[in-house]
C-alpha cells in the first residue's frame, strides 16, 4: 500500500520474505528500513515478482493509470439480445443449459428456476431456498444440479451445498457436508462422478456425486476461492481465488489426490477470478490484471 500497489496474499508473502533477510520469520526494524530504502516505487517492486508476473506487471500498471488505454483497441459491435426474461429480483449468479431448449438460473433472491426458451413468460419450475445462492452447476445429462449457498441451510451450520433434482422436482434431494462458509464456486465433472467446490474460507473440496459424501480436501487457501473446473475425463481439478494463485490437483487416483501444478501470481499481484481447462494441455485464466491468459501445462514447472 505504501507503494500504491494492489497486492494479494501470495504477493505479500513474497515481499515479506524479501524483507526478512535473515529468514527467522520476524521482520526487524532495520530490515524494514533497509527494504524501503531500496524499493521506493512500483518499478522496483516489479523486480521482486516471478518472471511470469513481471511480464504483465507493466501492462497492468499502464492500463490502471491510463484512462485512454481502451481507445487503442477496436470495440466489437454490440450484439442485440433476442429475449429479455424478468427472471429474478436479485443478482443472477449462474445460468446453465439443461438441454438445447431449457436452462436453469440461480439467484441471490434464494431461488433456482427452470425455463423453456420457447415460452419464457413463466418458469417451468421454481425452487425456493433459505439462503442466497452463490453458485450452481448442472450435470451433463441436465437432470440435476449442485447449488452453493451464501449461508448454512441447516440448524447446525454444516450444509452449504445441496443437490436439486429437476426430474423429480426435489430442491434438496441430497445435502453435502464439508464446508463451513459460503460456497462461491461449484462444478460437476463431465462424467457426473464428482463435484468440486470452493468456499469463502479458501477450502476446495471433492465430493462423490453418487453418494454426496466428501472424498478429499484438495486445497486450503487463506483467501476466498473464486472458481473451480474439471479437466476432460475428470483427471485434474483447477482452482483459483483471491490469493492470486492457480492450483491444479490430480484426482485420477481419488480419494488419494496430489498437487500437479501451481501457477504463482497468475494475475500479477491481483485476484484470479476464473480458471477453465481448454483441451488436454491448456488452461485459461482471467484476473484483476486486465488479462485473459492461456497456459500450456506441459511448460509449467
State pLDDT tens for residues 275-290: 999 999 999 999 998 8
- Tell the burial category of 48 from Cβ atoms under 10 Å away from its Cβ (0-12, 13-18, 19+): middle
Compute the chain's Rg from CA coordinates: 22
**Domain ranges (residues) in the chain:** 9-72, 92-299
The angle formed by the CA atoms of residues 124, 128 and 132, to the nearest 5 degrees, is: 120
Q: What is the mean pLDDT of residues 97-118?
A: 97
Question: Is the pLDDT at 1 greater than 50, yes or no?
Answer: no
Give residue 6's pLDDT.
Answer: 53
* Alpha-carbon span 149 to 180, nearest angstrom: 11
Give the 3-state secondary structure of residue 253: coil
Taking alpha carbons only, the member of 238, 249, 260 closest to residue 216 is 249
CATH class of 92-299: mainly beta
State pLDDT tens for residues 5-28: 555 655 555 555 556 666 666 666
Question: Is the pLDDT at 64 greater than 80, yes or no?
Answer: no
State pLDDT tens for residues 209-268: 999 999 999 999 999 999 999 999 899 999 999 999 999 999 999 999 999 999 988 988
Amino acid at each position: 500500500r505504501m507503494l500504491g500497489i494492489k497486492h494479494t496474499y501470495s504477493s505479500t508473502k513474497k515481499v515479506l520474505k524479501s524483507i526478512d533477510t535473515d529468514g527467522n520469520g520476524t521482520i526487524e526494524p532495520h530490515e524494514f528500513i533497509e527494504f524501503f530504502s531500496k524499493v521506493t516505487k512500483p518499478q522496483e517492486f516489479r523486480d521482486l515478482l516471478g518472471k511470469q508476473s513481471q511480464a504483465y506487471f507493466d501492462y497492468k500498471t499502464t492500463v490502471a493509470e491510463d484512462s485512454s488505454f481502451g481507445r487503442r483497441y477496436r470495440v466489437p459491435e454490440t450484439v442485440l439480445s433476442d429475449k429479455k426474461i424478468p427472471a429474478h429480483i436479485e443478482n443472477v449468479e449462474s445460468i446453465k443449459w439443461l438441454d438445447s431448449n431449457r436452462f436453469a438460473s440461480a439467484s441471490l433472491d434464494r431461488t433456482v428456476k427452470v425455463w423453456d426458451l420457447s415460452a419464457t413468460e413463466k418458469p417451468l419450475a421454481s425452487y425456493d431456498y433459505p439462503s442466497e445462492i452463490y453458485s450452481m452447476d448442472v450435470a451433463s445429462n441436465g437432470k440435476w444440479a449442485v447449488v452453493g449457498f451464501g449461508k448454512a441451510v441447516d440448524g447446525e451450520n454444516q450444509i452449504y451445498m445441496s443437490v436439486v433434482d429437476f426430474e423429480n422436482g426435489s430442491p434438496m434431494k441430497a445435502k453435502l457436508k464439508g464446508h463451513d462458509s459460503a460456497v462461491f464456486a461449484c462444478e460437476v465433472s463431465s462424467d457426473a462422478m464428482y463435484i468440486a467446490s470452493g468456499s469463502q474460507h479458501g477450502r476446495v473440496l471433492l465430493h462423490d456425486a453418487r453418494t454426496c459424501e466428501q472424498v478429499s480436501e484438495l486445497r486450503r487457501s487463506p483467501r476466498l476461492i473464486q472458481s473451480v473446473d474439471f479437466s476432460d475425463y475428470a483427471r485434474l481439478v483447477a482452482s483459483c481465488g483471491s490469493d492470486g494463485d492457480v492450483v491444479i490437483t490430480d484426482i485420477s487416483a481419488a480419494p488419494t489426490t496430489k498437487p500437479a501444478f501451481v501457477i504463482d501470481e497468475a494475475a500479477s499481484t491481483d485476484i484470479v477470478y476464473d480458471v477453465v481447462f481448454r483441451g488436454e494441455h491448456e488452461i485459461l485464466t482471467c484476473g484483476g490484471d486486465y488479462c485473459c491468459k492461456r497456459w500450456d501445462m506441459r511448460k509449467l514447472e
